[in-house]
Amino acid sequence: MEAEVAALSQLQLQLLALVSELSFLRERERAAREELHDAGKRWDEAEEERRREARKLRAEVEAGDDALQKLEARIKCLENENEVLQENEKNLKESMDVLLQSREDFVKQYEAGIYPCIYIGLCNN
């Protein structure tokens, strides 16, 4: 009977050891699940932050593209205005040249006496 009691005590000790180990493993599992849950939560937060940053960067790129398009349109407008101004300058220069040439021709003809006296009495003096 002592052998049976000793075997029973041995089984009880093994059972207690198994229960203790089971409790320890359950605690480790709970801690691991908690850590996994926290890691997943941190991952989701980091992913959302990356999405926000990507949206922000896309908005900045779009704003930059819009600004660039506006600048390109303004440059084109200024180039067109410059062409018009250059054409106007050319036309004005041509007109001035024609006027100066007409004035010069008039003065030469006047000095040569080709034009009749417009004012009465000026030619008789």
Contact 93, 87 (CB under 8 A): no
Q: How many domains does the chain have?
A: 1
How big is the CA angle at 69 (ends 67 and 75), to the nearest 5 degrees?
100
pTM: 0.52
d(CA 27, CA 34): 10
What residues contact residue 9 under an 8 Å CB cut-off, 6+ apart?
A: none
User: Which domain covers residue 24, as residue numbers?
Assistant: 1-125
Tokens representing 31 are 């801690």
Chain segment 23-54, per-residue pLDDT in tens: 999 999 999 999 999 999 999 999 999 999 99
Contact 22, 29 (CB under 8 A): no
For residue 8, the model assigns a pLDDT of: 75
More confident residue, 122 or 81: 81
